[in-house]
Chain A
Amino acid sequence: MIKFIQNKSVVWYLAIILSIVSIFTFKLYLDNGLGLSYNDARSHLDIGRRVVEGLKPGLAQLGSVWLPLDHVLMIPLVWNDWAWHSGFAGAFWNMLSYVGIGVLIYKYLEKLKVGMVGRLFGVFVFASNLNILYLQSTAMTEPLLLFTMLAGCYYLMIWMTEDRLLDLIKASFWVMMSTLVRYDGWFLLAVVAGLVALRTWYKKGYKTAEGTLILFCTVAAFGVVLWFGWNLLIFKDPLYFAFGPYSAHAQQEQMLAAGALPTKGNAVLSLQTYLYSMIYNSIATVAFLGIIATFVLWFDKKLDGAARLASSALWAPFGFNIIALIFGFSVIFIQGISGNTWFNVRYGVMLMPTLAIFIGYFVHRFKDFRWVIIGLFMFVSFIAFTSNDSVSIDDARVGSSQKNVSEVSGWLEKNAKDKPGFIMISAASHDAIIFSSNLPMKKFIHEGTGAYWESAAIAPDRWARWIVMRTHDVNDSTFKFVGVAPGFTKYDLVDSYPFADIYQLRDEYLPDLNTTPVYGRQK
């Protein structure tokens, strides 16, 4: 049995087991309807879909709100209606990432010379986390980001301990990939670059450090440069993603004005908020054990100093999130600290692989008590499962990250599905409605449809049979333009819902309405 387990093929068995768990969990959340609870999950899927289908399909639909890798990866799958509406097109890469992270945790611990029990326990700590299991079943970005970041950290550790150039290039490649998933990757880029410079300078002097750093950054920072270039090319402003009207910055400004950004400028509250977020995502026992384990590893003289230094990169998400909160680039609501709701609490899950690796090492070092630690973890895990303890699901279901648009999307599905005519709607504000309506993307005129949008903004009565918008809200692009258009008087308000109102063109104006795409291929 032991021989069997110690066989090299254990990685394959691990991958197979994790794949089965991953598929089972995806199916579970698909069946119970929770898989697409996050408003953002639906938006991610729509972005991918718009690249392959709509009034103006093409790569430009990747936009600037979010970094593009997730949506680019969706393209091979999202053309399929089932893959789009089940969320599989997005979840697929997260499921692969889930398996990949499990394998990487195993390999990372193996490199640290951790025994089989420690390695497998580390993987189990990660893989059995309910928040991770949920997020890998959705079209959110966290699992892919975790995978790319962990892969970067893994190869960095190998490079720092074994000093092979190829490992540095691999590390820089994965860091580059992470910079194309979320801005957390940009922080990791800075941290890893710092570690690379520090290590080389200490070992080989300044000149070599300079060269190594340039080599590393050439690949690792390529994604960042690419993103600036993309924004310049498509939006004529390299910083459009940062300061554009749909950027996180713009949203945070609105929140600041509404007094909903309490962490901005408050380091203590930011630290507290993120710590709580981490603890709620990982369960208190795991978080505390992981923190203790980190210090155990960092101060363990039996371990190579380079490996210890490299492992500090695993804590990069912690630094990033706290800095982002202090500077107001990010917002997290914790129930009990920031009112009575959750928002973005899932960011705390970013430390799960980190905690898993350090805990794996901890049970290896404290062999005498490892079965007690494992037993206690199993007990707490059992309670977590029986009490359905997943803050990420709660955030998606009842927190501020949810958006129940079923009423308005249901109206559209019922009344617009079999009738000719377009629906004018702001994708920036109502992507969830577009997704949930189950209507094809080409039924919608939104900000990304070029000439259709521009024409409908001036003369909506000629282009849109229905208009969906938040009336009197200038942050809704549709209202901003249509609200002042003369043709808007030809519409009746047919229904009003918490997230949007629906206007319908009166029947007498239908003869003048365009109901088929006329612009052909647009640039």
Chain B
Amino acid sequence: MNFKLPKIVINPALVITLLLAILLLFFTVKGTKKTYYDQSLYDTSMGSPFESSNNSSRYALTEAITNRLSFILTPEEAKFSSPDVAKKNNRYFSLFMPGVSVLGAPLFYIGKYLGFPQLTTYLLNGIISLVCLLFIVKISRKIGANKNWSIISGFLFIFSSNVWAYSLGYTQHLLTTLLVLIGLKIIQNKINVLNNLFLGVVFGAGLMVDLPNAIILLPIVIYQILRHFEVTYKTFKINWKLLLLAVGVVPFIASFIGYNILTTGSPLSPAQFLGRTSDFFVTQEEINIYEASRTEPKTGISLPFKSRKQLQGLYILIVSNERGILYYSPVLILGLFGFYISSKNRGSLSFNQVTLGIIGLNLFVYAMFGDPWGGWSFGPRYMIPATAVIMIYFPFFFESKKYRVLKSILMVILASYSIYLSSLGALTTSMVPPKQEAIYFTNPIPYTPQLNKEFIETKTSSLFYNLVLNDKISTLAYSRVILSLCLIYLFGMTIYANTHD
């Protein structure tokens, strides 16, 4: 039997980047002494791993799956998941699709064995972000980007955007992003049975991770379907391998229906359509909002999107100091320039059409969503998939050797600022309120990264700091060390990329 192992070429720049990324994620993993020593503690205070119900609701579901092989939450778990919990027939269940929770279950199981279930479960998004980094490098290279700039691009994807903060949590954004990137990688390949089957799986899994994924992944699926048709004036051919795409999706559609039946009791009605339960609401305001939403008459097709919200949504998601993607990660502007440069290359035209579709749909879906802020969050968390896609094009900004020094200086300035903001989010909290809530508090709090700046002066969410360095250096000094590590890498890699074409 003639079996050859694939040739593995180790790229030192990539290895250094990965090691540094792992180190940075390790230094910023969330936790306190309390949550570390008592992993069953449901601490929902600001900066803790369970500060947001986006995390806790999914974690509670993972617990239920692992401990009882059930999607139904106990009253205690439901209270912990609140407000992102629904109720029907006296049974509580998470408001979210179960994809993240199911994928986190093995990590929870390992952690339970080791005595650190929270810590190991939360590794999921960290691991996914590193895989995304690799995919960005790979995809970028495939459309003709420079190797070293692609690696920088992957690094900046995590550390110059709010991805860093969400790599440390237990939300769906990173998994969605990974599915988008896998989908993009698949369409870069030739049509074959396995690719089609796998793309079907990606699309189906996307649905199980978050409902809007069915829209965001659509350009990839449409493109792949169209590749199977050969239409001319005289001929019309279909490549029947196309059917494998459906085969890949079917198990997930079945799971989707099954999950809905087990929770809401209706095959096509996910928990999000049912709405939140008021059982755990504390304030009168929460109850009032809940009651108002229940009495609102619903006619015709009822979707959570409103085109009239688009103006506000676009402002919030693109430029606002609350959640603007260009405000939090101005380095993405270079990625957009890169897209423009890359689009001149006819070879990657179809691919660029798909990516533009993904970016556009990602933006429009959430701009028309009632809550583009994503509740209390850090940066535009809904835009993380688009961030990854834009970063694929970042290397093209440096394609031409013209003005390379100037371009590098510009990049370092923009990236440094982006990394600075991202590190603040990673080291503190993702619970930044929208302006409309923050200004109405009895004691108003900032609704911008200013909140994180104030937080880091006295506290940090870093488990490493809280366990090891708490009484040795200040939180501010710690954040500067982290930032310095990033900047040293950035300077070093920029010089390296400019000198090693």
Contacts of A389 in B (CB 8 A): 306-308
- The reply on B430 being an interface residue by CB < 8 A is no
**Are B303 and A279 interface neighbours, CB within 8 A?**
no
Contacts of A285 in B (CB 8 A): 310, 364
Q: Which residue of A lies closest to B356 (CB)?
A: A372
Contact residues of B with A, CB < 8 Å? Answer: 215, 219, 222, 300-303, 305-308, 310-311, 314, 343, 349, 352-353, 356-357, 360-361, 364, 367-368
Q: Which residue of B lies closest to A387 (CB)?
A: B306
- The reply on A416 being an interface residue by CB < 8 A is no
B349 to chain A, nearest CB (A): 6
**Are A372 and B300 interface neighbours, CB within 8 A?**
no
Complex CA gap A372/B307 in Å reads: 18
Contacts of B305 in A (CB 8 A): 383, 386-387
B226 to chain A, nearest CB (A): 10
**Are A369 and B300 interface neighbours, CB within 8 A?**
no
Complex CA gap A75/B368 in Å reads: 44
Complex CA gap A4/B472 in Å reads: 80
Complex CA gap A288/B343 in Å reads: 21
Q: Which residue of A lies closest to B215 (CB)?
A: A379
Q: How many residues of chain A have a CB within 8 Å of chain B?
A: 22
Contacts of B306 in A (CB 8 A): 383, 387, 389
**Are A386 and B353 interface neighbours, CB within 8 A?**
no
Q: A380-B310, A391-B308 known; A372 and B353 CB under 8 Å?
A: yes
Q: A284-B314, A371-B353 known; A376 and B361 CB under 8 Å?
A: yes
Main secondary structure of the interface of B (DSSP, over half): helix
Q: A284-B310, A379-B364, A388-B300 known; A368 and B353 CB under 8 Å?
A: yes
- The reply on A375 being an interface residue by CB < 8 A is yes
- Cβ-defined partner of A280 (8 Å) among B215, B303, B308, B364: B308
Complex CA gap A124/B405 in Å reads: 47
Task: Identify the interface centre among B215, B302, B353: most chain A CB within 10 Å of its CB.
Answer: B353
B455 to chain A, nearest CB (A): 32
**Are B353 and A383 interface neighbours, CB within 8 A?**
no
Can you report 14 residue pairs joining A to B where beta carbons are below 8 Å apart?
A284-B307, A284-B314, A284-B367, A368-B349, A369-B353, A369-B356, A371-B353, A372-B360, A375-B357, A376-B360, A376-B364, A379-B364, A383-B307, A389-B307
A49 to chain B, nearest CB (A): 34
**Are B353 and A284 interface neighbours, CB within 8 A?**
no
Since A372-B353, A389-B306 are in contact, a sample of 15 more A-B pairs with Cβ atoms closer than 8 Å, ordered by chain A residue number, is: A284-B310, A285-B364, A368-B352, A369-B353, A369-B356, A375-B222, A380-B364, A380-B368, A386-B300, A386-B303, A386-B305, A387-B303, A387-B308, A389-B307, A391-B308
Complex CA gap A279/B313 in Å reads: 13
Complex CA gap A513/B361 in Å reads: 70
**Are B368 and A383 interface neighbours, CB within 8 A?**
yes
Task: Identify the interface centre among A276, A288, A386: most chain B CB within 10 Å of its CB.
Answer: A386
Complex CA gap A283/B361 in Å reads: 15
**Are A283 and B360 interface neighbours, CB within 8 A?**
no
**Are B303 and A372 interface neighbours, CB within 8 A?**
no
Complex CA gap A383/B352 in Å reads: 25
A231 to chain B, nearest CB (A): 40
B359 to chain A, nearest CB (A): 10
A348 to chain B, nearest CB (A): 12
Contacts of A369 in B (CB 8 A): 343, 352-353, 356
- Cβ-defined partner of A387 (8 Å) among B307, B343, B353, B364: B307
Contacts of A388 in B (CB 8 A): 300
- The reply on A384 being an interface residue by CB < 8 A is yes
Question: Interface 1/0s, chain A 271-302, versus B by CB < 8 A?
Answer: 00000100110011100100000000000000
Contacts of B307 in A (CB 8 A): 283-284, 380, 383-384, 387, 389
B308 to chain A, nearest CB (A): 5
Q: Which residue of B lies closest to A366 (CB)?
A: B343
A124 to chain B, nearest CB (A): 16
Complex CA gap A388/B305 in Å reads: 11
Contacts of B311 in A (CB 8 A): 276, 279-280, 284
Complex CA gap A386/B298 in Å reads: 11
Contacts of B314 in A (CB 8 A): 284, 288
Contacts of B352 in A (CB 8 A): 368-369
* 8 closest Cβ pairs, A-B complex: A384-B307, A284-B310, A284-B311, A389-B307, A376-B360, A387-B306, A386-B301, A383-B307
Contacts of A376 in B (CB 8 A): 357, 360-361, 364
Complex CA gap A369/B349 in Å reads: 9
Complex CA gap A496/B343 in Å reads: 68
**Are A379 and B300 interface neighbours, CB within 8 A?**
no
Q: Which residue of B lies closest to A283 (CB)?
A: B307
Task: Identify the interface centre among B219, B310, B314: most chain A CB within 10 Å of its CB.
Answer: B310
Complex CA gap A379/B366 in Å reads: 13
Contacts of A371 in B (CB 8 A): 353
Complex CA gap A75/B335 in Å reads: 61
Complex CA gap A387/B310 in Å reads: 12
A386 to chain B, nearest CB (A): 5
Complex CA gap A379/B362 in Å reads: 12
Contacts of B360 in A (CB 8 A): 372, 376
Task: Identify the interface centre among B215, B308, B349: most chain A CB within 10 Å of its CB.
Answer: B308
Complex CA gap A375/B218 in Å reads: 11
Q: A285-B364, A383-B368, A387-B303 known; A372 and B308 CB under 8 Å?
A: no
Contacts of B301 in A (CB 8 A): 386
Contacts of A283 in B (CB 8 A): 307-308, 310
B231 to chain A, nearest CB (A): 10
Q: Which residue of A lies closest to B313 (CB)?
A: A284
Complex CA gap A280/B307 in Å reads: 9
Complex CA gap A401/B349 in Å reads: 49
Complex CA gap A369/B358 in Å reads: 13
Q: Which residue of A lies closest to B302 (CB)?
A: A386
Contacts of B222 in A (CB 8 A): 375
Chain A residues 367 to 405 lying within 8 A of chain B, measured CB to CB, are: 368-369, 371-372, 375-376, 379-380, 383-384, 386-389, 391
Complex CA gap A180/B353 in Å reads: 47
Complex CA gap A108/B364 in Å reads: 30
Q: Which residue of A lies closest to B349 (CB)?
A: A368
A388 to chain B, nearest CB (A): 7
A54 to chain B, nearest CB (A): 40
B397 to chain A, nearest CB (A): 19
Complex CA gap A387/B313 in Å reads: 16
A399 to chain B, nearest CB (A): 14
Contacts of A391 in B (CB 8 A): 308
Complex CA gap A302/B473 in Å reads: 64
A278 to chain B, nearest CB (A): 11
Q: Which residue of B lies closest to A386 (CB)?
A: B301
**Are A372 and B349 interface neighbours, CB within 8 A?**
no
Complex CA gap A283/B310 in Å reads: 7
Contacts of B353 in A (CB 8 A): 368-369, 371-372
Complex CA gap A122/B215 in Å reads: 25
B336 to chain A, nearest CB (A): 14
B372 to chain A, nearest CB (A): 12
**Are A368 and B368 interface neighbours, CB within 8 A?**
no
Q: Which residue of B lies closest to A276 (CB)?
A: B311
A275 to chain B, nearest CB (A): 10
**Are A372 and B357 interface neighbours, CB within 8 A?**
yes
Contacts of B302 in A (CB 8 A): 386
B286 to chain A, nearest CB (A): 24
**Are A383 and B303 interface neighbours, CB within 8 A?**
yes
Chain A residues 245 to 295 lying within 8 A of chain B, measured CB to CB, are: 276, 279-280, 283-285, 288
**Are B361 and A379 interface neighbours, CB within 8 A?**
yes
Complex CA gap A285/B300 in Å reads: 24
A296 to chain B, nearest CB (A): 14
Complex CA gap A280/B309 in Å reads: 9
Complex CA gap A74/B213 in Å reads: 52
B89 to chain A, nearest CB (A): 30
Question: Interface 1/0s, chain A 325-369, versus B by CB < 8 A?
Answer: 000000000000000000000000000000000000000000011
Complex CA gap A388/B301 in Å reads: 10
Complex CA gap A379/B222 in Å reads: 14
B380 to chain A, nearest CB (A): 17
